[in-house]
Structure 1
C-alpha cells in the first residue's frame, strides 16, 4: 500500500500515536545498540512518557486560552500551584506536621480544580480588557503572588474558623500517596506488608526481563496520564467545535468584529480563562501527585516559559499540535540532553570536568576538545536552557506557525476558503 502523507497528516490519532511510539523506539534502538542497562532504559522512556503527558495536558489548557481566544496568560505555573496546594490542604492529615482537612482524594482533586478556576475567574474580571503585553505582566505577577504566598512563613500553618491547616512554606507540603500503588500493594503506605494478586502476577512477569517493580508502578501512572491527555483533547475539541468555541476563535481573529456581531466578548473570555485555569490546576495535581511531595520552587516562572515553548513548537491553535509540542519538548529538548549525556559517558571516558567555561575553552586552541565536552556534559542542565533558546529562535524564524500550526482551527463551522462547485450548462465551474 502506498503511503499517503496527506491522509496521514489529517488523522490526529495516528499523528499522536506515531509521536509517542516513534520517540520510544528511537530511545530503545539507541540503548540496544550501545548495550545500555535495560531497566534504566525502560525507566528513561517512562519518564519521557510521563513528562510528555504532563506537558501535553498543560499545553492543551494553554491552547484553549491563547490558541483559541488569544488570551496571553503568563501565569500558568501559578494556577498549577494553586490546584496542587489546594488539593494537598484538603486531603492533608489533620494531625500531621502540616495539618489539613483530612478529606478524601477525589474531593481534594475537585477542590483544587475549582480553586484554580476561581482564581482565574477573579483575575480575569478586572484584567482581560488589557492588551496582550499588559495582561502578560499582570498574570505573571499574580502567579508570583501565589507562589510567594505559598512560600511565606505566615502561611506555614494558619487557622480558619478554628480549623488548622498550612502550606508548609519553603519546606513544601506532602501530597496524598500515589493511588496507583493500591493496584500492586496490599498497603500502599507500607510496601513490606506484601503485594496484591495482581501485583504478584505483574511484578513476576517483569522480573523475567529485569524491570524493577518501582518502574512498573511508574509506567502504570504514565499510562493513566496518557489516557487523561486523551480526555483533555476530547473536552477541548468539543469546546472548540461548539458555538462557544467558534466565538472564541472569532475573538482571536478580530474581537471588534465579534463585538459588532452582538457577542459579549468579555463574558466569553472570562469563561474560557476560568476553564483553562481549572485544567491547568488539574494538570498540576496529576503531575505532582506521583511524587508525594511538592514545594513552591517547583512552580517558578520558567515553568510557564517551558510550556509556551512547547505550544510554539506544536503550533498555537491546533490541539493535535499542542500534544505533539508537549511530546517533542519533553522528550527531545528536556529529557533528550540527559540521555545524550548518558550515551556519551557510556561510549567515551573523560577526565574530570573543568571548574569554569574558560578552563574548558582554552584547550580548544590546541585541538583538545576533551575538557570542553566534559564541561558540557557536567553542566548539561544549564546548557539545556541555551539549547532551548536556540531551538526557539530557529522555529520562530523558519516555521513561526509551529509543526502543525498550518492546521489551526477556523472560527467558521465550515471551511469557507473553498467555494462550492456549481454545475452550469457549459460544465463545472467554481
Structure 2
C-alpha cells in the first residue's frame, strides 16, 4: 500500500467532512436548527459544479471522453465552486422559506423529506444526471500539469486552502453579533423575539450559509473523485456529518473540524481489523463477520468518546467579556410614546380560550403613562395570559390592544417590541448557556449590526456599536450590582439574580412600557426589595410599568394603581388603599373579611 497516497486521500476526506460539519454546526450548534436533510445541499453542490465545468455536449472533449449527458457549460473549475455554493444556498433558502417556522421536530422531518425529494429528482432525471450510472470525467483543476501522485498532493493543498478560508470566515461570523444572536435563538427563541429580534430571518441566513458551505464541499468532493452519481449522497452521509459534529462538540467550529478527523480515523482505521491473526479464518467461513465486527468496533469507540468526552473532543470554550474600558455610559432614557391624555397601554374586551376554558374573558383596562400599575388576582385569574396576549406571545381570540393609541393586536412579538413594549416572564427566560454579559449584549445590540453585511463589510461601524453597547452593559451591571457575575453563565444564577438579569436586559433597551410577570416570585426579601427599588427608579426616569405580582406588601408599597382580575375579567381597580378595602376583592382574592 502506498502510505503517502493513503494518507493524502484520508486527510482530503477528513477536510471535506470537516467543512460539512462546520456548515452544519452553524445551523444547529449556533442557531439550533435540526437539519436531517443536510446531504441534499452536498448533492446539489456536487452536481452543479460538475455540470457547469464538464465539456458541452458535442464538443471535441465530450466526444473524446465518450460522455453521455445532455447539459454542460464547459466553464472553468473555479466557476463550478461558485455554482456549487449558489446551488446549496438557494436550496437552503427554499427549504427554510417553506419550513423554518415549523416546530423543531417537524422541521427535522421536513428537512429529511426534502432531501429524499432532491435525491429522487437527481436519480430520476437521467437526462440531467444519468441517475445511478452517474457522470465520469469530471474536470480536475490543473490536472494536466501534474502526475497522478503529485496531483493528489496539489488537490489536498487546494482543499486545505478552501476549507481554511471558509473556516476562518465562519469562525469570525460566529464571534460577531450575528453569531451571538444565533446562540440566543438556540437557547430561547421566544425570549429573543420579545427583545425585537427577527429570529426567522436570522435562522434563514444560517440555513443559507450552511447550505452554501455544504455545496462547496460537494464541489471539492466531485472534482477530487472525477466521477459523480446519486448513490454517493445517501441519507447516512447526513448522519455521519451529525456524528462528526457531535463528537467534536457543538457551538464550536474547531470541535466540528476535530470531530470530522476523529470520525474518519475511526471509520477507516477499522478497515484493518481483518489483518488481525486468526480473524481471516473466521471471515473465510462467514463473509459477513468482518463487516459486522467493524461496525461493532466503530460503535464501541464512539461510545467511549461520548463517555469520556461528554462535551465533545473540543468542548465549547468559556467565553469571557472584554476588560472593562472604564468609560461611563448613561443608560438611554425611555422614549415618550404616548400622546397627551392617551393611555400608555390599553386593552379592550380581550378574550382568549383554550379548548372550552376561557382564560381571559372580556378583560378591559388602561395603564396611564408614567405609572406603576399592579395586576393582581388569584392563580388562574388570567394575568399571565394577558401578558402573553399583550406582548404577542399568544394571539387573542377577540379584543384590541393599543400602545400609545396605536393598535398592536395580533402582531408578532418582535413587531410589538419595536413599538415600545418590553416584558419579562414569570419563569425568567434568559439565554442559559450564554454569560450574563452576553445576555445584556444581545438585548442591547441593534438589529442592523447583527446582519451578515455588518459582520463582514461594516467592521468599523460594528466595532463602534460594540463599544457603545459594552459601556451600557457595564452601566447596567453597576446599577444591578452584578459586576462580579459578568462571566457567569445565566444557568448558574440564583432565582433572584435571574430576575435581576431579566430586568437588566430591558434596561439595555429601555422600552417606554415594561411588563413584568411576577418579578419577586421565588426571590428573597432583600433582593425583591432591591428589584422594586430599581423599578421605582426607572419609573421616576419615565418608564411605565404593568406588574403582575402576588407579594401584596410590594404591590401596596410601590404601585400607584392596582387592577384585580378574577376568572378572566377585571373585578376591580383603583388606588392600593381602595383595593385593600374592597369587599369583592377581599372575598375573591384575600379569602374573607378584613381582620
Give the TM-score normalised by structure 1.
0.69
Asked if the contact 1:88–1:174 (Cα under 8 Å) also holds between the matched residues in 2, the reply is no
Query: 1: CA distance between counterparts of 2:52 and 2:31?
Result: 32
1:388-399 aligned at under 5 Å gives the runs 388-399=298-309
Identify which of 31, 47, 51 aligns with 1:69: 31
Q: Which residue of 1 aligns with 2:271?
A: 338
Name the stretch that deviates more: 95-104 or 391-400: 391-400
Query: 2: CA distance between counterparts of 1:397 and 1:311?
Result: 16
Q: Which residue of 2 aligns with 1:384?
A: 294
2:315 matches 1:405: yes
Q: Which residue of 2 aligns with 1:94?
A: 57
Asked if the contact 1:83–1:116 (Cα under 8 Å) also holds between the matched residues in 2, the reply is yes
Name the stretch that deviates more: 50-59 or 94-103: 94-103
Which SS does the other structure have where 1:60 is aligned? helix
Q: Which residue of 1 aligns with 2:243?
A: 309
Asked if the contact 1:124–1:270 (Cα under 8 Å) also holds between the matched residues in 2, the reply is yes
Q: 1:327-369 CA deviation, whole Å, 9 max, x = no partner?
A: 11112x1111124545x37xx7944734438xxxxxxxxxxxx
Q: Which sections of structure 2, spanning at least 5 residues, go unmatched? A: 63-67, 320-432, 442-469, 471-484, 490-595
Q: Which residue of 2 aligns with 1:353?
A: 283
Q: Which residue of 2 aligns with 1:268?
A: 202
2:3 matches 1:41: yes
Q: 1:206-231 CA deviation, whole Å, 9 max, x = no partner?
A: xxxxxxx5333212212221222211
Q: Which residue of 2 aligns with 1:34?
A: none
2:171 matches 1:237: yes
Deviation at 1:395, TM superposition (A): 4.1
Asked if the contact 1:317–1:408 (Cα under 8 Å) also holds between the matched residues in 2, the reply is no
Q: Which has the higher strand share?
A: 2
Q: Which residue of 2 aligns with 1:249?
A: 183
Q: Which sections of structure 1, spanning at least 5 residues, go unmatched? A: 1-36, 158-165, 185-212, 358-374, 420-430
Deviation at 1:174, TM superposition (A): 3.0
Deviation at 1:384, TM superposition (A): 3.3
Deviation at 1:62, TM superposition (A): 0.6
Deviation at 1:110, TM superposition (A): 1.4
Asked if the contact 2:270–2:297 (Cα under 8 Å) also holds between the matched residues in 1, the reply is no
Query: 1: CA distance between counterparts of 2:293 and 2:13?
Result: 20
Deviation at 1:83, TM superposition (A): 0.7
Query: 2: CA distance between counterparts of 1:175 and 1:242?
Result: 42
Asked if the contact 1:89–1:99 (Cα under 8 Å) also holds between the matched residues in 2, the reply is no
C-alpha change, 1:55 and 1:138, in structure 2 (3 Å) is same
Identify which of 102, 105, 130 aligns with 2:102: 130
C-alpha change, 1:103 and 1:180, in structure 2 (3 Å) is closer
Query: 2: CA distance between counterparts of 1:340 and 1:224?
Result: 32
Q: Which residue of 1 aligns with 2:162?
A: 228
Q: Which residue of 2 aligns with 1:416?
A: 486
Query: 1: CA distance between counterparts of 2:235 and 2:298?
Result: 15
C-alpha change, 1:387 and 1:127, in structure 2 (3 Å) is farther
Q: Which residue of 2 aligns with 1:108?
A: 80
Query: 2: CA distance between counterparts of 1:284 and 1:383?
Result: 30
Name the stretch that deviates more: 276-285 or 382-391: 382-391
Which SS does the other structure have where 1:245 is aligned? helix
Aligned CA-pair RMSD: 2.5
Deviation at 1:260, TM superposition (A): 1.3
Q: 1:71-127 CA deviation, whole Å, 9 max, x = no partner?
A: 111111111001111222222322241022323122232122111111100110121
C-alpha change, 1:294 and 1:385, in structure 2 (3 Å) is farther
C-alpha change, 1:301 and 1:384, in structure 2 (3 Å) is farther
Deviation at 1:180, TM superposition (A): 4.0
Query: 2: CA distance between counterparts of 1:339 and 1:387?
Result: 11
Which SS does the other structure have where 1:103 is aligned? coil
Q: Which has the higher helix share?
A: 1
**RCO higher in structure (CA 8 A, sep ≥6):** 1
Q: Which residue of 1 aligns with 2:126?
A: 156
Q: 1:123-161 CA deviation, whole Å, 9 max, x = no partner?
A: 101211222222111111111111111111xx211xxxx
C-alpha change, 1:383 and 1:128, in structure 2 (3 Å) is farther
Which SS does the other structure have where 1:102 is aligned? coil
Q: 1:264-320 CA deviation, whole Å, 9 max, x = no partner?
A: 100000111011101001001101211111111111010111111111110011111
Q: How many residues align?
A: 319
C-alpha change, 1:384 and 1:284, in structure 2 (3 Å) is farther
Deviation at 1:58, TM superposition (A): 0.5
Deviation at 1:69, TM superposition (A): 0.5
Q: Which residue of 1 aligns with 2:223?
A: 289
C-alpha change, 1:322 and 1:172, in structure 2 (3 Å) is same
Q: Which residue of 2 aligns with 1:120?
A: 92
Query: 1: CA distance between counterparts of 2:222 and 2:156?
Result: 12
Query: 2: CA distance between counterparts of 1:339 and 1:355?
Result: 18
C-alpha change, 1:101 and 1:69, in structure 2 (3 Å) is same
Q: Which residue of 2 aligns with 1:366?
A: none
Q: Which residue of 2 aligns with 1:201?
A: none
Identify which of 132, 136, 150 aligns with 1:174: 136
Asked if the contact 1:151–1:168 (Cα under 8 Å) also holds between the matched residues in 2, the reply is yes
Query: 1: CA distance between counterparts of 2:26 and 2:303?
Result: 24
